């Protein structure tokens, strides 16, 4: 079977530039074929698949606990939250209720994951726009969270700490102390980030009114996470369909109306404050209990279909498992937020300049392995 | 909206379809010919108001291919699942929903790429991840001697 | 025959007289020119090496890390190592490129900066060419550098280089206007374009203090425009790595790339040197009228040290700006110049003229 409709042919006077798979600011192996007229962008066509590993196909031949290790590698900056999604899907399908301790620890680790993902976003976003110093400051602070992960979970970025039924191991005795130290340190450091970048006139001029998406477009294109919330679309899964311990903490959902790149950035900065609030509400009272429920050695889900959505740092991750009663799932589909966010890139960058394309791409905060799976 | 009410409403809007109340969501199984019309009705009706397409999953049922649509209403905060199947494995064709939800564009390209399902009226149906000489990996009868160990 | 570090004119007079004694005047002048050329070349190389090393250390300071510290004590020989590596890099010949222009472009850029260095007074008596139109000459010569940039972009036969060169060219030509007007403002205060006279006029107070408000405004505008002129700092869109085009020097490798790289740092030095001369007194120490003891202490420090300290302080300021701010987009850059800096400049010029006429300067 040959391909359907070919790609659109550029008009005369347009020339085509390739932001190749290796590029300092595409955050991964993303190839953008940009048609330009002068300095203005006419068409952006993403070519993906450079890191397509066939995760969904692989899931059809492995067991449910083994899927956890593949989910780490999709959106690797929200590794813990991806793990949590699959675990929750399996636990809800089997009707297992995990202990409070597990729920609280999962929530704390999810929020720490969110903070470190946004720190990396801040670091690379500043670097893309030319403020190279931001890269070092952001990563320096992120190291503190990665040290906490390493001590408790065994891995810095690829954690694989969740398993169906609970956690792989109990938390390290230093976990609470280190997390509290980090929170008190970061509360003092985060205003520095604002002083360096957010309040900077050059930065604001580069981002305001660039790549505007209004609320109807956000819903029609399925944009969730900080991208959707910056356009006024209230889509936080933690609020609408709470899971783990989110129903017992109070936090604000950050919403802005303008929908431009600057507000996508602002949403993430404000979310870091909210995440710290959530952690502070939970860190002192981690309930005692077991860290994992007793599960059968071979997990078989009853026949049927199960859908679970969680809020990763980038948006709503949906896990759709179709089971036929065996120990391997029949089909697993990951509805990844980045895959959906890449689609309107063309729409957002119509009429902007090349430099704005880099800004828009950065503000969407795409992780390419999550797109390709 | 309550699941039972939703199921009843869906049954009235899609009289030929099979409406089931699943464990989580209301599931409607349709014929490919009525997919577009039912989806449009469900989108525009004020009580269902499915304005967001969450995901499109391509499925291989063994003898048939199909797609599963997860649709959400941001107004009422409920989700409905649409399912459809095509029995022709050589030339499977389903109507594209890009006219209703622009988000469908990439999802349908992915289903085309990995399963071979063609979508009519899709604005730009090309392969997404793989090149044009690759087969359709997500199909159950896909053979790859190098990368996949057949049991 | 005493040579003094405070006044190099005795040293230069000695060289001149000994040359004239042993050969005909024509030959003496020729040999002197060769000596000056060699001196400037050496200076160029040493300052270039030092500036590259300084940039990396300053950058590291801003980014909370150490910078080069392995090669040599404190990493001093890092730049030498980089230079040696660049000499070994293969010079990739470009297909269908204009060979003559391609090879000429780096030299044009270097020659423009050479000629500018020749006119800068380093210390009393250490001044290669003291033209009576010094400021005018400097502005004219630094404009020649843009020819090299455009040649490089065109001759590379690469659309990315061409875009980068066009952007650079537009940027440099626009900001020359601001640089020129800022310098003209100070010429109005000084009353002369000859650099040695300007320095002499700052004996009892540097111009930035003498001219207070308009001089400070002119200095700020000059620093902004000077940074933009040299494609540095927040104005380096044309050669930014994270943008689409790698700039006009994409196709250059090895020693030719080293020329462009070096020329950028020397241009930064020249901009800083001109600022030091015109705003901060050049080699003139800080004197306060009436404080003889203080003046004697200030005079004890050799003028060459004064000059280099002022220049390197301004260089540090420019580096600081680069590592703090994000980049401006090309249209924002040009808007800044034409809609903001130019009107402010013209207003400032009028203000300075008013100041001089009414004698309100110190």
Contact C241 A24 (CB under 8 A): yes
Question: Among partner residues C59, C234, C242, which is closest to A24 by beta-carbon distance?
Answer: C242
The residue ranges of every structural domain in chain B are 3-94
Question: How many Cβ pairs within 8 Å bridge chains A and C?
Answer: 76
Task: Tell me if chain A has a CB within 8 Å of the CB of B51.
Answer: yes
How far from the centroid of its chain's Cα atoms is residue B118's Cα?
12
Contact A331 B59 (CB under 8 A): yes
Contact A2 B132 (CB under 8 A): yes
Q: What is the pTM of this model?
A: 0.87
Contact A200 C327 (CB under 8 A): no
pLDDT digits (tens, 9 = 90+) for C19-70: 777 778 788 888 888 888 898 888 888 888 889 888 989 888 888 888 888 8
Task: Tell me if chain C has a CB within 8 Å of the CB of A137.
Answer: yes
Contact B22 A304 (CB under 8 A): yes
CA atoms within 13 A on the CB side of A226: 27
Contact C244 A353 (CB under 8 A): no
pLDDT of residue A10: 53
- CA distances, C169 to each of C40, C164, C176, C221, C225 (Å): 27, 8, 11, 20, 14
pLDDT of residue A5: 45
* Optimal mutation site among B54, B111, B134, interface A, most CBs of chain A within 10 A: B54
Question: Among partner residues A49, A233, A316, which is closest to B129 by beta-carbon distance?
Answer: A49
Question: How many Cβ pairs within 8 Å bridge chains A and B?
Answer: 93
DSSP A258: S
- CB under 8 Å, gap of 24 or more: what pairs does C188-194 form? C188/C349, C188/C352, C188/C353, C188/C356, C189/C214, C189/C215, C189/C352, C189/C355, C189/C356, C189/C361, C190/C278, C191/C356, C192/C132, C193/C132, C193/C133, C193/C134, C193/C135, C193/C136, C194/C130, C194/C131, C194/C132, C194/C133, C194/C134
Tell me the C-alpha distance between A66 and A82, whole Å: 13
DSSP A288: P
Crossing angle of the two packed helices A100-129 and A175-193, in degrees rounded to 10 = 30
Task: Calculate how close chain C gets to A226, using CA atoms only, in Å.
Answer: 23
pLDDT of residue A11: 58
Give the residue among B27, B58, B107, B79 at the shortest CA–CA distance from A337: B107
Contact B70 A2 (CB under 8 A): no
**Is residue C188 within 8 Å of C352, Cβ to Cβ?**
yes
Contact A206 C324 (CB under 8 A): no
Interstrand relation of B78-86 and B26-30 (parallel, antiparallel or unpaired): parallel
Nearest CA in chain C to A38: C163
Q: Looking at beta carbons, which residues of chain A come within 8 Å of B60?
A: 331
Identify the CATH class of B3-94.
alpha beta
Tokens of A40: 């203005």
Give the residue among A288, A347, A292, A339 at the shortest CA–CA distance from A312: A339
> Is the reported ipTM for this assembly greater than 0.85?
yes
- CB under 8 Å, gap of 24 or more: what pairs does B143-151 form? none
Contact C323 A133 (CB under 8 A): yes
Q: Looking at beta carbons, which residues of chain A come within 8 Å of C60?
A: none
Contact B126 A221 (CB under 8 A): no
Task: Tell me if chain C has a CB within 8 Å of the CB of A25.
Answer: yes
Give the residue among B114, B131, B122, B106 at the shortest CA–CA distance from B56: B106
Kindly give the confidence (pLDDT) of every residue in chain C, 362 residues in length, as a single tens digit, with 9 standing for 90 and above.
566 677 777 777 787 888 777 778 788 888 888 888 898 888 888 888 889 888 989 888 888 888 888 888 878 888 888 888 888 887 777 777 778 888 888 889 888 888 888 888 888 777 777 888 888 998 888 888 888 888 888 888 877 778 778 888 888 889 998 999 999 998 888 888 888 888 888 888 888 888 788 889 999 999 999 998 888 888 887 776 545 556 777 778 778 888 888 888 898 999 999 999 888 888 888 887 777 777 787 778 888 888 889 999 999 999 998 888 888 888 888 888 899 999 999 999 998 888 888 877 66
Task: Calculate how close chain C gets to A15, using CA atoms only, in Å.
Answer: 10
Question: Among partner residues C59, C326, C330, which is closest to A200 by beta-carbon distance?
Answer: C326
Q: Which residue has the tokens 């626009």?
A: C174
Contact C243 A354 (CB under 8 A): yes
pLDDT at B29 over 60: yes
Question: Among partner residues C63, C65, C329, which is closest to A355 by beta-carbon distance?
Answer: C329
Q: Looking at beta carbons, which residues of chain C come within 8 Å of A40?
A: none
- What DSSP line would sit under A128-193, residue for residue? HHT-THHHHHHHHHHHHHHHHHHHHHS-SS----EETTEESSPPPTTHHHHHHHHHHHHHHHHHHH
Chains that contact B by 3+ CB pairs under 8 Å? A
Kindly give the confidence (pLDDT) of every residue in chain A, 373 residues in length, as a single tens digit, with 9 standing for 90 and above.
334 444 555 556 677 888 878 776 667 888 888 888 877 888 888 888 888 888 988 888 889 889 898 888 888 898 999 999 999 999 998 888 888 899 999 999 999 999 999 999 999 998 888 888 888 888 888 999 999 999 998 888 888 888 888 888 888 888 899 999 999 999 999 998 888 888 888 888 888 888 889 888 888 998 998 999 999 888 888 888 898 888 889 988 889 988 888 999 999 999 999 999 999 998 888 888 888 888 888 888 888 889 999 999 999 999 999 998 888 899 999 999 999 999 999 888 888 888 888 889 889 988 889 998 8
Give the residue among B102, B134, B124 at the shortest CA–CA distance from A46: B124
Q: Looking at beta carbons, which residues of chain C come within 8 Å of A202?
A: 234, 325-328, 332
Question: Among partner residues C63, C234, C331, which is closest to A136 by beta-carbon distance?
Answer: C63
Tell me the C-alpha distance between C324 and A137, whole Å: 12
Contact A335 B70 (CB under 8 A): yes
The residue ranges of every structural domain in chain C are 85-358
Give the residue among C114, C51, C45, C86 at the shortest CA–CA distance from C252: C86
Q: Looking at beta carbons, which residues of chain A come within 8 Å of C244?
A: 17, 19, 34, 354, 358
Element at C190 (helix H, strand E): helix C159-190
Contact A320 B55 (CB under 8 A): yes
Give the residue among A331, A308, A72, A58 at the shortest CA–CA distance from B57: A331
Mapping DSSP onto H, E and C, the string for A198-224 reads: HCCHHHHHHHCCCCCCCHHHHHHHCCC
Q: Do chains B and C touch (3 or more CB pairs under 8 A)?
A: no
Q: Which domains does chain A have, with CATH numbers?
A: 51-372 (1.10.645.10)
* Optimal mutation site among A306, A307, A322, A370, interface B, most CBs of chain B within 10 A: A307
Q: Looking at beta carbons, which residues of chain A come within 8 Å of C55?
A: none
Nearest CA in chain A to B106: A343
Task: Tell me if chain C has a CB within 8 Å of the CB of A353.
Answer: yes
Chains that contact C by 3+ CB pairs under 8 Å? A
Contact A197 C65 (CB under 8 A): no
Contact C242 A127 (CB under 8 A): yes
Tokens of A6: 């070919």
Task: Calculate how close chain B gets to A248, using CA atoms only, in Å.
Answer: 21
Task: Tell me if chain A has a CB within 8 Å of the CB of B99.
Answer: no
pLDDT of residue B2: 74
**Is residue C138 within 8 Å of C287, Cβ to Cβ?**
no
Task: Tell me if chain A has a CB within 8 Å of the CB of B36.
Answer: no
Contact A333 B55 (CB under 8 A): yes
Tell me the C-alpha distance between B141 and B132, whole Å: 18
Tell me the C-alpha distance between C78 and C86, whole Å: 12
Task: Tell me if chain B has a CB within 8 Å of the CB of A130.
Answer: no
Nearest CA in chain B to A89: B24
Task: Calculate how close chain C gets to A17, using CA atoms only, in Å.
Answer: 8
Task: Calculate how close chain B gets to A46, using CA atoms only, in Å.
Answer: 9
Task: Tell me if chain B has a CB within 8 Å of the CB of A322.
Answer: yes
Looking at residues B5-19, what average pLDDT do you find?
Answer: 78
Mean pLDDT of chain A: 87
């Amino acid at each position: 079977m040959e391909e359907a409709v070919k790609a659109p042919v550029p008009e005369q006077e347009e020339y085509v530039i390739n932001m190749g798979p290796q590029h300092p600011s595409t955050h991964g192996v993303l190839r953008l074929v940009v048609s330009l007229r002068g300095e203005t962008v006419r068409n952006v066509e993403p070519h993906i698949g450079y890191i397509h590993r066939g995760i969904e196909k692989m899931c059809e031949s492995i067991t449910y606990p083994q899927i956890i290790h593949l989910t780490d590698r999709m959106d690797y900056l929200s590794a813990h939250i991806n793990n949590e999604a699959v675990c929750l899907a399996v636990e809800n399908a089997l009707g297992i209720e995990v202990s409070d301790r597990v729920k609280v620890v999962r929530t704390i680790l999810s929020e720490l994951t969110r903070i470190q993902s946004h720190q990396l976003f801040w670091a690379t976003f500043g670097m893309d726009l030319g403020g190279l110093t931001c890269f070092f400051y952001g990563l320096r602070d992120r190291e503190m969270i990665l040290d906490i992960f390493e001590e408790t979970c065994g891995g810095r970025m690829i954690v694989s700490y969740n398993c169906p039924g609970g956690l792989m191991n109990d938390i390290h005795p230093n976990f609470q102390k280190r997390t509290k130290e980090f929170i008190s340190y970061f509360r003092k450091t985060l205003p520095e980030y604002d002083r360096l970048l957010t309040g900077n006139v050059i930065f604001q001029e580069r981002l305001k009114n660039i790549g505007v998406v209004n609320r109807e477009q956000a819903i029609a294109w399925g944009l969730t996470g900080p991208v959707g919330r910056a356009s006024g679309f209230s889509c936080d899964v933690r609020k609408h369909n709470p899971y783990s311990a989110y129903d017992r903490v109070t936090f604000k959902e950050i919403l802005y109306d303008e929908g431009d790149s600057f507000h996508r950035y602002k949403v993430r900065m404000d979310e870091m404050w909210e995440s710290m609030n959530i952690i502070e509400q939970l860190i002192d009272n981690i309930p005692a209990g077991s860290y994992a429920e007793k599960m059968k050695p071979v997990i078989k889900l009853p026949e049927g279909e199960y859908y679970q959505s969680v809020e990763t740092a980038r948006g709503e991750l949906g896990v759709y498992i179709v089971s036929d009663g065996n120990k391997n799932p029949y089909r697993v589909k990951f509805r990844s937020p980045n895959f959906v966010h890449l689609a309107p890139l063309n729409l957002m960058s119509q009429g902007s300049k090349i430099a704005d394309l880099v800004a828009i791409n950065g503000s969407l905060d795409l992780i390419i392995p999550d797109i390709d799976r | 909206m309550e699941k039972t009410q939703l199921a009843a409403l869906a049954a009235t809007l899609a009289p030929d379809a099979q409406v089931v109340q699943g464990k989580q969501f209301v599931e409607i199984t349709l014929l490919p010919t009525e997919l577009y019309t039912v989806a449009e009705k469900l989108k525009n009706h004020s009580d269902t108001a499915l304005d967001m397409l969450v995901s499109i999953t391509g499925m291989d049922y063994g003898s048939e291919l199909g797609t599963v649509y997860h649709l959400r209403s941001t107004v009422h905060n409920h989700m409905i699942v649409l399912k459809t199947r095509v029995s022709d494995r050589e030339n499977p064709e389903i109507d594209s929903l890009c006219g209703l939800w622009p988000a469908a564009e990439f999802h349908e390209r992915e289903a085309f790429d990995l399963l071979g399902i063609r979508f009519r009226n899709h604005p730009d149906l090309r392969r997404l991840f793989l090149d044009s000489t690759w087969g359709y990996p997500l199909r159950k009868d896909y053979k790859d001697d190098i990368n996949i160990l057949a049991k | 025959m005493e040579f003094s570090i405070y006044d190099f004119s005795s040293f230069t007079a000695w060289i001149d007289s000994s040359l004239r004694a042993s050969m005909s005047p024509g030959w003496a002048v020729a040999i002197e020119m060769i000596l000056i050329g060699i001196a400037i070349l050496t200076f160029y190389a040493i300052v270039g090496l030092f500036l590259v090393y300084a940039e990396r250390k300053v950058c590291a300071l801003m980014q909370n890390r150490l910078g080069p510290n392995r090669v040599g004590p404190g990493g001093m020989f890092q730049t030498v190592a980089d230079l040696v590596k660049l000499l070994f890099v293969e010079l990739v010949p470009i297909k269908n490129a204009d060979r003559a222009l391609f090879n000429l472009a780096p030299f044009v850029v270097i020659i423009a900066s050479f000629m500018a260095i020749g006119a800068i007074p380093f210390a009393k008596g250490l001044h290669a060419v003291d033209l009576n139109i010094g400021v005018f000459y400097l502005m004219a010569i630094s404009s020649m550098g843009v020819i090299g940039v455009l040649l490089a972009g065109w001759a590379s036969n690469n659309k990315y280089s061409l875009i980068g060169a066009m952007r650079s060219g537009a940027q440099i030509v626009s900001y020359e206007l601001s640089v020129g007007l800022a310098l003209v403002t100070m010429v109005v205060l000084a009353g002369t374009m000859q650099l040695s006279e300007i320095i002499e006029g700052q004996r009892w107070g540097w111009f930035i203090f003498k001219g207070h408000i308009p001089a400070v405004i002119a200095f700020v505008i000059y620093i902004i425009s000077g940074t933009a002129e040299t494609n540095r700092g927040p104005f380096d869109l044309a050669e930014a790595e994270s943008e689409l085009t790698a700039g006009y020097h994409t196709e250059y490798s090895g020693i030719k790339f080293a020329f462009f790289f070096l020329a950028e740092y020397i241009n930064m030095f020249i901009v800083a040197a001109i600022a030091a001369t015109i705003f901060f007194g050049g080699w003139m120490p800080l004197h306060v009228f009436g404080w003889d003891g203080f003046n004697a202490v200030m005079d004890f420090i050799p003028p060459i040290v004064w000059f280099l300290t002022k220049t390197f302080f301004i260089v540090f300021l420019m580096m600081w700006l680069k590592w703090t701010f994000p980049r401006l987009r090309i249209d924002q850059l040009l808007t800044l110049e034409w809609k903001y800096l130019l009107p402010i400049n013209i207003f400032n010029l009028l203000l300075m003229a008013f100041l001089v006429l009414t004698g309100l300067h110190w």
